[in-house]
Structure 1
Amino acid sequence: MANATPLLSQSDLSQPLSLSSSIESETPSVEKVLPSLDEFIEQSIGGFAWAQLLHAILVSLAWLFDGQQTFISIFTDAETTWHCNHLSTEDCNSGSNICLLPKTAWEWDKPAYTFFISEWSLECVSSIIKGLPATSFFMGCLLGGFLLAPVADSSFGRKNMLFLSCLTMSVAALLTVFSTNIWMYSALRFISGIGRASIGASTLVLSTETVGKAWRGQVGTFGFLCCTLGFLSLPAMAYMNRSSSWRLLYVWTSIPAIFYCLLVRFLVCESPRWLFMQGRKEEALATLEKLAPMENNTSLKFLDLYLSGAFLKQEKMKMNLHLSIKMLLEKRWASRRLLAVMVIAFGIGIMYYGMPLGVGNLAYNLYLSVMLNVLAEMPSSLITMFYIGKWSRRSSVLDLTIISGVSSIMCVVVGHGMKELQVGLELISFFCACTVFSVLMIYTLELFPTCVRSLAVAMVRQALMSSGTVSTILIAAGKTNAFLSYGVFGLLILCCGLFVVCLPETNGSSLCDTMEEQEHKEANAC
């Protein structure tokens, strides 16, 4: 599993070179036989050492806590059930309007502190107010993404962005425990969403930039699998917590996340590609040796000579906060490509977030519905992990969005009269949405070079977050009209998925570091 291939093998040279003779050679002659920076990195981490595996898993664990905070509102913000008590009049029944009954005529099925709606007596407020905490979280994700999207490509870096984002999300989630009203609760969810905004992009980019192209797709899916595990943990924790305060669920999810942030701070390595682009040569070399120890010390000497030469000056590009944005906007092909991917992401996000958040609209048990959705996402992540290397990116996105959209619309057609079939169609739709979500994120990081990759992935995540905000509104409207939720979900993902025809195929391609390198590679491919 470890990569024993030397960074610069003898076969790369026209004749064997000793270390002393290579150092005495002039720089131009060395550059003629030295591969590009991408090839150097690919040769050093192109295999898959155990250190790379453990590092990728550690980085991807951030998605576990991301998944918990994203879907926790399914249980903490659930509608509370009630029943008529012995003091009720003959007009009280299960179909009565609770807001028209006297307080003495009914009781909650569970203690009032179980859900925030019953604890703060919000049973008669509008659905918009009840959904405010969930909407605030996605609005925070939206704002945080716009504010933090270019930061990871700047001198701040991928690792620091991951640490700061995860810590902000976790601390705000823990402080939620002390909320005294829905406004304070919504404000803290908003802050948590701001922190959460960059976790997915930072994790995906950092984990995939520490492996070669042969393992990029599989490593990229680690995060999606961890997100599924985080989602999977929620029904179990919520069920055990079903008679306790909703605040405990935030305690159980936030404290482990804070401890994880410490592991990121001291154990996670920065991306060697990003370090090279920042001109931090020594740190980049140290990271390469740590992730995939190279046995040929002479190869490192050649690499050091190469990085010290004039050729590096053409490739090194220190990024600042605004340069990556400028580069994306100036290059017409890049801006068109980014727009197309963001439109696709919006449609997928409507389905990916809307389906699990809207299961309460189905005439089915809440805990069982959520568990079935999680069980549908688990095989999606595993299938993507094993087959992403073989799949055509464009065809996969197009086929999966069509199946997901049609299944969602069929949920409305069959109605509540066929509950089992409706839930089955919902699961098929959600399974396809989960799979195409994973494929699209891998596709995105292959479409853009290192200098703007984190920004591009973050902007795609922004499109997903914006659709999450829209989906919460559609879910509230869908309580009275099913088409406004599942019907609209299906139409949007169908229409948005068609934009994939505007994108090039990237399966099996190597990652580029600069915009010019990306253009040169694609020009040669044509």
Structure 2
Amino acid sequence: TTPILPPSPASEHRRSSLEDGFDQYISDVNWAQIFQVSLVTMGFLFEIQQSFISIFTDAAPSWRCDNSDCRDSSDQCRIPPDSWSWSSPATTSIISEWSLQCSGPLVNALPSSSFFIGSLIGGFVVATISDSKIGRKNTIVLSCLIMSVAGVLTALSGNIWTYSAFRFLAGLGRASVGATGMVLGTEMVGKKLRDRIGIIAYIWAPLGFISLPGIAYWYRNDSWRWIYIWSSIPCLIYSFLVMFFGRESPRWLFLRRRREEFERTIRYLAASENKTATNNFFFTRWDEEEECIETHAITILLSKRWSFRRLAAVIMAGFGLGLVYYGLPLGLETLSFNIYLSVALNAASEIPAAILTFVFVGRFRRRILILNLAVVSAISSIVCGMVRFDRIQISLELASFVAAVIAFDIFLIYVLELFPTCVRNTAMSIFRQAVMLGGAMGPLAAAAGKGNAFAIYAAANALYGSMVIFLPETKGRIWADTMDEEE
């Protein structure tokens, strides 16, 4: 929004000089920054594993007829139980182990829905204290601890109800892992490379996605519980690595007036020739910069008309992106293609998507790029729902998914640029929760059948693509730290 009165030259100078100060000392990417960004964004790997693990653990296994009383095309629930059997051991899925094949879609979708609902609640709770109380680093540690412990407990579940409860707990922890890691990583580098450093985060996500079908395939004839264990224990180890070796955001420390910690962090991240000069610049401005007030970030976001409008558009866009980003992989079982191979192809496609994001983000404006990607994904979804040949289906599904992944990656950067430091993590987490809410609709969309599901995905593409009309362009802008600066 354009203010009635232009900002004073003094405030504009203070804002630009502070940004220049950060850029002067941490603009040249060094090994310390690469290590920190890689470490704090690695949580994407475990977040993705927990988000898509139900594709394998909650899948309905194939079955076979054992006598002439049934035929392979028969409904399992309408034939004698002793006339058929599972093609693989019953322990490979919760459906077969707990005999849920006739429980109906609501019961079978309960674990996935519980996970997404937990993510929604956790995002609002954890993200707010990240901006106002405990900081970015501790948020990652706390979230990963909750997510990993919940994963181990899920493996110990004895029925669908305790299983769903622990999935809800995992969702609570998962809510802020990727969002906070993305915010923390970008706040550790200068503005010249800020939009491109996210490529590291985008590499972790497909690695998590690719590793998941590998783990599931290894235990395809064993218990589904091992998939949870071997995706949760590394996450537990990771949380301790961040606790002992991770650094806090220098921008957050500066706004919170934590001088000693800020000094240690900025010296650690600065280039070697700047390590002794940082005090001279920043601490002369310590009293000039307004402190991030002791107010919940969500309250701050809702108190300004411009931030409320941006937040509303971001939420709507996040819902559409989530429905496509999570819905397409969750709906792969509706296609006439091998489930392990199709998941692996979708996972592998995130790597070229990350590379294309790296290329596009520095060349094109955010709004026009997201809009074009939405059009490509929507058209691919519509055609995919109409064709019958399996190879054409998977090719169109991959095209739709890659376009949606690039749009999602670009939108993550876009949200970071739309909001100032003191509310940035909260805004990012709210966006991610909107994404998860859209993802929660993914199983329902998949249950609607292939044709209807891909029509829903096309409509979701239109939703997030249209939302950029209501948002300002941010490419090349200086990052603000306070609400007044952004306004």
| TM-score where L is the length of structure 2 | 0.94
| Inter-partner Cα distance in structure 2 for 1:505 and 1:33 | 23
Q: CA deviation at 1:389?
A: 1.7
Q: CA deviation at 1:234?
A: 0.8
Q: CA deviation at 1:375?
A: 1.9
What residue in structure 2 maps to residue 51 of structure 1? 32
In structure 2, the CA distance between the partners of 1:300 and 1:112, relative to structure 1 (3 Å rule), is closer
Alignment deviations for residues 350-370 of structure 1 (CA, whole Å, 9 cap, x no partner): 100000011011111110111
**Cα root mean square deviation, aligned:** 1.7
| Inter-partner Cα distance in structure 1 for 2:317 and 2:72 | 43
Q: CA deviation at 1:118?
A: 0.7
Matched, 1:496 2:470: no
What residue in structure 1 maps to residue 51 of structure 2? 70
Matched, 1:507 2:475: yes
Matched, 1:345 2:326: no
Q: Which is greater in Rg?
A: 1
8 Å Cα contact 2:28-2:271 kept in structure 1: no
Letter in 2 for 1:426: E
What residue in structure 2 maps to residue 364 of structure 1? 337
**Residue from 108, 118, 122 that aligns with 1:140:** 118
Q: CA deviation at 1:177?
A: 1.1
Matched, 1:447 2:418: yes
8 Å Cα contact 1:174-1:254 kept in structure 2: yes
Alignment deviations for residues 146-200 of structure 1 (CA, whole Å, 9 cap, x no partner): 2223111102111111110111011100111110000000000000001100112
What residue in structure 1 maps to residue 4 of structure 2? none
Residue segments in structure 2 that go unaligned for 5+ positions in a row: 1-12
Matched, 1:405 2:378: yes
What residue in structure 1 maps to residue 9 of structure 2? none
| Inter-partner Cα distance in structure 2 for 1:249 and 1:58 | 23
Matched, 1:98 2:104: no
In structure 1, the residue corresponding to 2:64 is in which secondary structure? Answer: strand
Q: CA deviation at 1:34?
A: 11
In structure 2, the CA distance between the partners of 1:35 and 1:189, relative to structure 1 (3 Å rule), is closer
Matched, 1:39 2:20: yes
Letter in 1 for 2:430: M
In structure 2, the residue corresponding to 1:83 is in which secondary structure? Answer: strand
Letter in 2 for 1:317: E
**Residue from 196, 203, 210 that aligns with 1:218:** 196
8 Å Cα contact 2:263-2:279 kept in structure 1: no
Q: CA deviation at 1:301?
A: 4.4
**Residue from 275, 289, 294 that aligns with 1:315:** 289
In structure 2, the residue corresponding to 1:206 is in which secondary structure? Answer: helix
Letter in 2 for 1:44: Y
| Inter-partner Cα distance in structure 2 for 1:165 and 1:148 | 8
What residue in structure 1 maps to residue 166 of structure 2? 188
8 Å Cα contact 2:64-2:86 kept in structure 1: yes
Q: CA deviation at 1:35?
A: 6.8
| Inter-partner Cα distance in structure 1 for 2:440 and 2:275 | 53
8 Å Cα contact 2:268-2:275 kept in structure 1: no
Query: Percent same amino acid at aligned positions?
Result: 45
Alignment deviations for residues 94-131 of structure 1 (CA, whole Å, 9 cap, x no partner): 10111111122111101111111111111111012112
In structure 2, the residue corresponding to 1:213 is in which secondary structure? Answer: coil
What residue in structure 2 maps to residue 254 of structure 1? 232
Letter in 1 for 2:440: T
8 Å Cα contact 2:92-2:221 kept in structure 1: yes
In structure 2, the residue corresponding to 1:315 is in which secondary structure? Answer: coil
**Corresponding pairs, count:** 475
Q: CA deviation at 1:258?
A: 0.3
Q: CA deviation at 1:500?
A: 0.4
In structure 2, the residue corresponding to 1:188 is in which secondary structure? Answer: helix
| Inter-partner Cα distance in structure 2 for 1:33 and 1:409 | 50
8 Å Cα contact 2:25-2:274 kept in structure 1: no
8 Å Cα contact 1:114-1:243 kept in structure 2: yes
In structure 2, the CA distance between the partners of 1:459 and 1:35, relative to structure 1 (3 Å rule), is closer
What residue in structure 2 maps to residue 523 of structure 1? none
In structure 2, the CA distance between the partners of 1:373 and 1:35, relative to structure 1 (3 Å rule), is closer
Alignment deviations for residues 349-402 of structure 1 (CA, whole Å, 9 cap, x no partner): 110000001101111111011111112222101221243222211111100011
Letter in 2 for 1:396: L
What residue in structure 2 maps to residue 382 of structure 1? 355
| Inter-partner Cα distance in structure 1 for 2:14 and 2:300 | 31
